[in-house]
Amino acid sequence: MSVITVQIGQCGNQIGEKFFDTIVSDCLDYRPNRNQFNLNYFNKLNQDYSQECMERFFSQSETGQTYARSVLIDMESKVVNKILGKNQRYLFRAENSYTQKKGSGNNWSYGYCVNAPKSVNVIEDIIRKESERCDRLCSFLVCMSMAGGTGSGVGSFYTEFLRDSYPRTTLVNTCVWPFSTGEVTLQNYNFLLTLNKLYEMSDGLILLENDTLHQISKRINSINPNKEITFDDLNMVIGHKLASIMQPCSNSNLQRNYLNEVIGELCPHPDYKLLCLNNVPMMSAQSIEFSTFKWNSLYKNSRQLLYTGGFMDEGLKWGSEKSFNKTICLSLFARGINDSEHEHSDLKNGFFDDDFLNKHFKTRAFGIFPEPVKLWQHSRPFNRYEKSLSMLSNSQIPAFKIDGLIEKAWNMFMSKAYVHQYVRYEGFEEENLLNAFSKFSSSKPSYLTY
């Protein structure tokens, strides 16, 4: 079951590239431990894993060249040209890329009302051709930022388009949120309008923030104190996070619609679609060699991350009140060798104590899911980590942040700042902004007050 990645805007294209880099390096650079008992078993495991991964994300041409199943969209040509020009172990198809000249000017309405409609016919064809190359298409992964013009505006347009044209294909958006100290002055408006659209159209929204990614990168690169963190480093972290949930699991196989199941379980209700992605451990390559991991501690760290709303296993606040973060649903992805037979199931069942489950786990109130935690696992280690655990959670954390951002957008709107920049494009009026605000004042209670 294949996944087509749709990369929109500078951010989307850059993270899409790193995502594919991570997958390829994970598959091709894996060297099993020589001293491993039962080496044959692990080689076979690796082979199956790589094969499934290649089928899911890449297509082969007749000449044996590997092409990524990806569509690259941007409103100006520099970023896409740079990506296409790179010669690596896999390539992006040049015919799958679409660029215009002028960019979207950091303006959601320019991206949505002007640029995107211009490109619809061409991109419709591209996506159709790419989907025909897949044996079975199971989902779209849309990578975009929420602050710029192309990522937010064109991204919203194409999410809507994909939902309309491929109604039965799972649609997951990976949205990157800029630095909270300000990267683009229009970021709050763009965020509001994008979230408004995506909430209706998308199946699941994975939110990633530059702030937290920056901290994680710093930690990963802490071995080298003089190194300045670049956007490449941040994008590598995103690539690692996304790949950790998208790579094959032993409960999945080529016939099952893996992503659909994951998202379907995580987002049971249309009002609750915001997902947080956390990974433990995250450390520098040099440190990994000298560390040992135990599943027990990884599970414990993840749980604490969920309780405190943290993002990194360093500097966790232990002993804080468990009632801070209420959770709807949780999926864990465990990759690596088991130390003992039933280790995972034991840990999973004991993940939450009954007290927490009754007070803070909302699914009980829905009365639908008996199991609060869904576990996906694979024995093959992921991306150089002997054992790693990813947690995709549907909880309150993003809602607090969103509330703050909408507050800021509201203040700007009350001063009528920048509104003329948005309404000057046909198809957009002040009412659109007002509607977006009102929508969030009605769904705000659902996340924060249950």
Partner 1 sequence: MTQNITLQIGQCGNQIGCRFWDLALREHAAVNKKGVFDESLSTFFRNVDVRSKATSYFESSEIPVGSGSEKIRSLRARAVLIDTEEGVVNEIMKGPLNEVFDHRQYVTDVSGAGNNWAVGHMFYGNKYKDSIRELIRKNAELCDSLESFFVMHSMGGGTGSGLGTAVLRMIADDYPEVHRFVVAVYPSADDDVITSPYNCVLAMKQLTDFADCVMPIDNHSLVNIVNRIESVCVKTQSTCKNTNFSSSLRSRDPSKVLIDNNSTIISSANSSSANKKTEKPFDSMNNIVANMLLNLTSSSRFEGSLNVDLNEIAMNLVPFPRMHYLLSSLSPLYISEKVNLQVRGIEQMFSDAFKRENQLLQCDPKSSLYLACGLMLRGKVQISDMRRNIEKLKPQLNFIKWNQEGWKTGLCSVPAFGQPYSLLCLSNNTCIKDTFSTIKDRFNLLYRRKAHLHHYTQVEGMESCLFTESFQSLQNLMNDYKNLETNNSSNDSAIERIKILS
In the complex, the residues that contact partner 1 under the rule CB under 8 A are 10, 14, 76-79, 82, 101-103, 105-107, 110, 149, 179-187, 214, 218, 228-232, 234, 406-408, 410-412, 414-418, 420-421, 434, 437-438, 441-442
Residue 151 beta carbon to partner 1: minimum distance, rounded to whole angstroms: 12
Residue 299's alpha-carbon distances to 51, 78, 166, 316, 387, in angstroms, are: 29, 43, 37, 14, 11
Nearer to partner 1 among residue 305 and residue 433 (C-beta): 433
| Cα separation, 203 vs 267, whole angstroms | 8
Residue 415 beta carbon to partner 1: minimum distance, rounded to whole angstroms: 5
Nearer to partner 1 among residue 34 and residue 416 (C-beta): 416
Nearer to partner 1 among residue 36 and residue 441 (C-beta): 441
Nearer to partner 1 among residue 114 and residue 391 (C-beta): 114
Nearer to partner 1 among residue 34 and residue 101 (C-beta): 101
Residue 1 near residue 255, CB atoms below 8 Å: yes
Residue 341 beta carbon to partner 1: minimum distance, rounded to whole angstroms: 45
| 359: Cα within 13 Å, side-chain hemisphere | 11
Nearer to partner 1 among residue 2 and residue 235 (C-beta): 235
| Cα separation, 172 vs 107, whole angstroms | 23
**Phi, psi for 269 (deg, rounded to 5):** -125, 135
| Residue 174 per-residue DSSP state | E
Residue 214 beta carbon to partner 1: minimum distance, rounded to whole angstroms: 7
| Cα separation, 149 vs 188, whole angstroms | 12
Could you tell me which of 213, 280, 222, 244 has the C-alpha nearest to residue 11? 213
Residue 60 near residue 91, CB atoms below 8 Å: no
DSSP string spanning 34-61?
TT-SSHHHHHHHHHHHHHHHHHHHEEE-
Residue 210 beta carbon to partner 1: minimum distance, rounded to whole angstroms: 8
| Cα separation, 48 vs 380, whole angstroms | 10
Residue 372 near residue 357, CB atoms below 8 Å: yes
Residue 10 beta carbon to partner 1: minimum distance, rounded to whole angstroms: 6
Give the distance from CA 347 to its chain's centroid: 25
Residue 391 in tokens:
């947690």
Nearer to partner 1 among residue 122 and residue 417 (C-beta): 417
Reduce the DSSP state of residue 99 to 3 states and report it: strand
Residue 364 beta carbon to partner 1: minimum distance, rounded to whole angstroms: 25
Cα diameter, the chain: 68
Residue 354 beta carbon to partner 1: minimum distance, rounded to whole angstroms: 34
Residue 75 beta carbon to partner 1: minimum distance, rounded to whole angstroms: 9
Nearer to partner 1 among residue 225 and residue 315 (C-beta): 225
Nearer to partner 1 among residue 322 and residue 408 (C-beta): 408
CA angle 371, 373, 379 (to 5 degrees): 120
Give the distance from CA 309 to its chain's centroid: 17
Residue 130 beta carbon to partner 1: minimum distance, rounded to whole angstroms: 25
Give the distance from CA 379 to its chain's centroid: 23
CA angle 273, 237, 162 (to 5 degrees): 40
Cβ neighbours around 331 below 10 Å, total: 20
Nearer to partner 1 among residue 184 and residue 274 (C-beta): 184
